[in-house]
């Protein structure tokens, strides 16, 4: 999916909501555990109930890898279901991969070619030759960690290097990499005050923003500083939507929570 196609979907749905499909078998409704594939059954119900309210889904691959080959098969079925039934939806493999040369190329092939995701998250610590292999894939996006919302982000990301915070150096440097127009960046919602500075460096890039809802991030604050001319935001909510209920009405309750965020986004886009 191209950036322009993503923007068109955002404008059509009045939504820049991304729903995280982070499935924990200990948290899903107990009646689903009787299903042949509980993870896929859960995802399918959530997707069918919320697809009209969001523009993207983001499975965190750790929640699938933890269940071995069956978990990976659930992930494969989920992405195939999305691509077959809702091809307009943007898909993100939240895998946070990052290695050099051929290893990165193989990671990219796994998510872009075999699973057919639109994008994948990567860690930039190893630099250009760990990210450029992902950027080489046409009409695919690489979403690079820039400033995360966890407590440990302050261990490195905000430390000064040559008089400038490291996350700013990462953003600036990445703009010079080959096919950098295919880059997006992860910026945590709990760091809303940093968005103004980030937009000075990457004014038009899309930012994937986790942390709204359960982690305490505020949508209004993020949009105040983070919105660009082409919207430029994908706001992710996971637990706050998919675990809205543990009963048989879980999908309906998830849709209600998603609708609340979508309506807030619509109001922001149309003000």
Catalytic residue status for 96? yes
Given the residues 11, 96, 109, 253, select the one marked as catalytic: 96
Paired sense of beta strands 160-161 and 164-165, if any: antiparallel
Neighbours of 156 (CB within 10 A): 12
d(Cα 64, Cα 68) in Å, to the nearest integer?
Answer: 7
Please state the three-class secondary structure of 130-155 as a single string.
HHHHHHCCCCCEEEEEEECCCCCHHH
Encoded tokens for 78: 């989920």
Contact 14, 1 (CB under 8 A): no
d(Cα 199, Cα 126) in Å, to the nearest integer?
Answer: 24
Neighbours of 226 (CB within 10 A): 22
d(Cα 98, Cα 1) in Å, to the nearest integer?
Answer: 22
Alpha-carbon dihedral sign for residues 188, 192, 198, 204:
positive
Encoded tokens for 259: 């609708």
Contact 208, 121 (CB under 8 A): yes
| DSSP code for 91 | E
* Residues forming the active site: 96
């Amino acid at each position: 999916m191209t950036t322009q196609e993503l923007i068109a979907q955002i404008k059509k749905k009045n939504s820049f909501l991304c729903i995280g499909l982070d499935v924990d078998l200990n948290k899903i409704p107990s009646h689903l555990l009787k299903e042949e594939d509980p993870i896929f059954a859960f995802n399918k119900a959530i997707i069918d109930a919320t697809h009209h309210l969001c523009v993207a889904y983001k499975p965190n691959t750790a929640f699938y890898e933890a269940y071995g080959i069956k978990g990976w098969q659930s992930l494969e079925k989920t992405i195939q279901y999305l691509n077959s039934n809702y091809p307009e939806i943007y898909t993100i493999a939240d895998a946070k991969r990052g290695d050099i040369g051929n290893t990165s190329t193989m990671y990219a092939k796994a998510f872009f070619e075999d699973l057919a995701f639109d994008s994948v998250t990567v860690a930039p610590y190893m630099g250009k030759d760990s990210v450029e292999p992902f950027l080489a894939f046409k009409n695919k996006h690489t979403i690079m960690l820039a400033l995360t919302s966890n407590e440990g982000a302050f261990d490195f990301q905000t430390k000064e290097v040559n008089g400038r915070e490291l996350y700013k150096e990462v953003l600036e440097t990445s703009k010079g990499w080959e096919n950098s127009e295919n880059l997006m960046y992860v910026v945590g919602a709990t760091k809303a005050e940093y968005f103004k500075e980030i937009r000075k460096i990457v004014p038009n890039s899309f930012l994937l923003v986790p942390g709204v809802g359960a982690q305490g991030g505020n949508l209004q604050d993020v949009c105040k500083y983070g919105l660009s001319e082409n919207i430029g935001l994908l706001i992710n909510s996971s637990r706050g939507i998919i675990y809205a209920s543990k009963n048989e009405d879980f999908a309906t309750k998830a849709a209600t929570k998603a609708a609340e965020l979508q309506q807030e986004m619509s109001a922001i886009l149309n003000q």
